């Protein structure tokens, strides 16, 4: 996480609260108005502060966290990739596979075939942003 001096500790606390809310509500639509309300910021202010503090915008963060969770499910032996795709918020297996390959460099099927240690290492290396 970027901790640039111009971000007040209250901003950091609010951003952590938003990140926690996102992680706790990944299976739900995450509307920007709701997230701004969680932070007690306006939508534009939340986007500006979130991007400055986290180093990625909210949409990218949500996508990354959902793909990370999908990777964990695949690593734990989830059999139905379409089910994992739907749980990650993707409408189709193809859209999920494309996003997963962009994130991890492997298709979900290829990732699932990795041994647990290698998969875990890949998840940790790619998901270098700390929350």
pLDDT digit string, tens, across residues 52-106: 999 999 999 999 999 999 999 988 887 789 999 998 989 899 999 999 999 999 9
Beta strands in the chain (DSSP E): none
Assigned superfamily of 65-126: Homeodomain-like (1.10.10.60)
Distance of CA 1 to the CA centre of its chain: 14
Q: Is the pTM of this model over 0.85?
A: no
CA atoms within a 13 Å half-sphere pointing along the CA-CB vector of 99: 22
pLDDT in tens, 1-24: 444 445 567 888 999 999 999 999
């Amino acid at each position: 996480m970027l901790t640039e001096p111009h971000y007040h500790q209250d901003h950091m606390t609010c951003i952590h609260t938003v990140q926690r809310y996102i992680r706790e509500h990944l299976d739900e639509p995450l509307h920007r108005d709701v997230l701004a309300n969680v932070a007690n910021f306006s939508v534009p202010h939340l986007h500006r502060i979130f991007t400055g503090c986290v180093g990625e915008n909210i949409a990218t963060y949500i996508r990354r966290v959902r793909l990370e969770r999908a990777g964990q499910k695949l690593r734990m032996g989830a059999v139905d990739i379409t089910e994992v795709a739907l749980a990650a918020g993707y409408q189709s297996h193809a859209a999920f596979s494309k996003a997963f390959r962009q994130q991890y460099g492997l298709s979900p099927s290829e990732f699932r075939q990795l041994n647990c240690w290698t998969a875990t290492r890949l998840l940790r290396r790619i998901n270098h942003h700390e929350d």
